[in-house]
Amino acid sequence: MKAGSTAAGIIRGWLPSLRLITRLSSIYGTGVSEQPKAAVQRSRWIILTRCAIHILPIAVSTVLISLNLCNTYLGRTLPGAIIDPAINLALLQIAAKIHELLIVASVATVVLHYIRRQLVYGQGLPLGLLMGGFMFSGLGYFWSPELTGSLFARYALSSKIKILVILIFAGLFATLSGPASAVLLIPEEQPWNAGCSVYYLPATTGDLWPTVINSSNNMQQKLCSEIQLEHGLCAAGGYSSLWRSKDLIDMFRRPAYIPSSRRNLTTDLIFGPRGVDITNNFEMIRGLRYSGSLRGYACETAMVGTRIVDAMYHKQLLQDWSREVMSIGLNSRSNSPAESNYKYYRSLTATTSSRIPAVRVSCTPAQNMSSQSGQIELPILNEEGCSPSASRTTSVPRDWLNDSLLHQFRAFWNDKTADLGSTSGTIVVELPTDRDSELIAVVGCSVEARWADGSTITSDLRSYATSSNLNLHFHAPVSLGPIFKGPSTGLGQQSYSEFRPVLSNPTSTRISLSHDWLFDAATSNSSAPTDAGGWTADKFGNFLGNSSLFEDVLRSSGPSSIEIWNEDTPGLTNRTVALEWTLALIVTDALSRTGSELILDTTGPVSSWSIKEYDRVPDFQAELFRGGRALKRPENSNPMTEGKLEITIGGYSYQATSLTSYLAIALLALHMLVALSHIIFLFSSGESSSAWESFSELLVLAQNSRPAPIALRHTNAGIKWMRTYSRMARVYSVTPWDTMGESGQRSNVELMFDQDEEDDVGDANSKNTIQMPRVQWRKENTLVVLGNVKPNTMYGHPDDNNVRKRTSSTWATV
User: In terms of pLDDT, which residue wins out, 39 or 306?
Assistant: 306
Neighbouring-strand partners of residue 648: 193, 349
pLDDT at 792: 32
What pLDDT does residue 534 have? 30
| pLDDT tens column, 728-744 | 888 887 765 555 555 44
- What CA–CA distance (Å, rounded) separates 273 from 300? 12
What mean pLDDT is predicted for residues 301-319? 85
Phi-psi category of residue 323: left, alpha or beta, with phi > 0 → left and psi -120 to 50 → alpha = alpha
Say if residue 265's pLDDT is above 80.
no
> What does the alpha-carbon distance between residue 295 and residue 573 come to, in Å, rounded to a whole number?
12
Secondary structure class of 557 (helix, strand, coil): coil
Measure the CA–CA gap between 271 and 280, rounded to whole angstroms.
28
Q: What is the pLDDT of residues 611-643, one digit of tens each?
A: 888 889 888 888 888 888 888 888 876 788 888
Count of other CB atoms within 10 angstroms of residue 379: 27
Quote the CA–CA distance of 77 and 309 in Å, as a whole number: 34
Mean per-residue pLDDT, 147-152: 82
Longest dimension (CA), the chain: 138
Q: What are phi and psi of 128, to 5 degrees?
A: -70, -15
Is 769's pLDDT higher than 60? no
What is the chain's mean pLDDT, rounded?
Answer: 71
Report pLDDT digits (tens) over 689-716. 878 877 888 888 888 887 877 778 777 7
Distance of CA 723 to the CA centre of its chain: 50
Q: How far apart are CA 711 and CA 690, in angstroms?
A: 27
Q: Which residues are registered as beta bridge partners of 193?
A: 648
Highest mean pLDDT (candidates 228-237, 538-547, 687-696): 687-696
What is each CA distance from 378 to 357, 431, 443, in whole angstroms? Answer: 23, 16, 8
Most confident of 129-133, 334-338, 468-472: 129-133
Nearest residue to 573 (alpha-carbon basis) of 297, 385, 377: 297
- H helix or E strand, kind and range, residue 580: helix 575-592
Strand partners for 304: 291, 358
Q: Look at residue 40 and give its three-state secondary structure.
A: coil
Query: Could you tell me which residue, 755 or 659, shows the higher pLDDT?
Result: 659
The stretch 365-371 carries a mean pLDDT of: 76
Which tops the pLDDT comparison, 114 or 393?
A: 114
Q: Residue 61: its pLDDT value, please?
A: 94
Max mean pLDDT among 373-377, 585-589, 749-753 falls in 585-589
The residue among 307, 351, 349, 319 whose CA lies nearest residue 599 is: 307
Predicted confidence at residue 672, as pLDDT, reads 94
Q: Which residue has the higher pLDDT, 458 or 107?
A: 107
Calpha distance 79→518 (Å, rounded):
54
- Residue 590 per-residue DSSP state: H
Q: Are 279 and 286 in contact (CB under 8 A)?
A: yes
Examine the pLDDT at 280 and tell me if it is beyond 50. Answer: yes
Q: Is the pLDDT of residue 536 over 80?
A: no
SS3 label, residue 383: coil
Phi, then psi, of 45 in degrees rounded to 5 = -65, -40
Question: Which range has the top average pLDDT, 57-61, 768-772, 795-799?
Answer: 57-61
Lowest mean pLDDT among 74-88, 119-133, 562-576, 775-789: 775-789
- Res. 122 pLDDT band, cuts 50 70 90: confident
Give the residue among 201, 200, 244 at the shortest CA–CA distance from 594. 201
**How high is the pLDDT of residue 152?**
81
Indicate the range of 26-40, 82-96, 245-259, 291-305 predicted with least confidence.
Answer: 245-259
Residue 783 has pLDDT above 50, yes or no: no
Q: Are strands 478-480 and 287-293 parallel, antiparallel or unpaired?
A: parallel
Lowest-pLDDT range, 157-166, 573-582, 600-609, 776-785? 776-785
Q: Label residue 535 by pLDDT band (50, 70, 90).
A: very low
Lowest mean pLDDT among 35-44, 135-144, 350-359, 768-777: 768-777
Lowest mean pLDDT among 369-373, 739-743, 747-751: 739-743
| Residue 228 · residue 665 · CB < 8 Å | no
Average pLDDT over residues 348-370: 84
For 456-511, the pLDDT digits (tens) are 888 764 432 222 222 232 233 344 443 333 333 333 445 566 676 677 677 788 88
pLDDT score of 308: 84
Residue % of the chain over a pLDDT of 90: 7
Q: With bands split at pLDDT 50, 70 and 90, how would you rate the model's confidence at 96? A: very high
Rounded-to-integer distance, Cα 573 and Cα 312, Å: 36
Identify which of 310-319, 470-479, 596-605, 685-694 has the greatest average pLDDT.
Answer: 310-319
Rounded-to-integer distance, Cα 75 and Cα 330, Å: 13
- The pLDDT of residue 181 is 93
pLDDT for 788 beyond 50: no
Q: What was the pLDDT predicted at 27?
A: 52
Q: Where are the alpha helices (DSSP H) in 607-658?
A: 620-625
Angstrom distance (rounded) from CA 584 to CA 301: 8
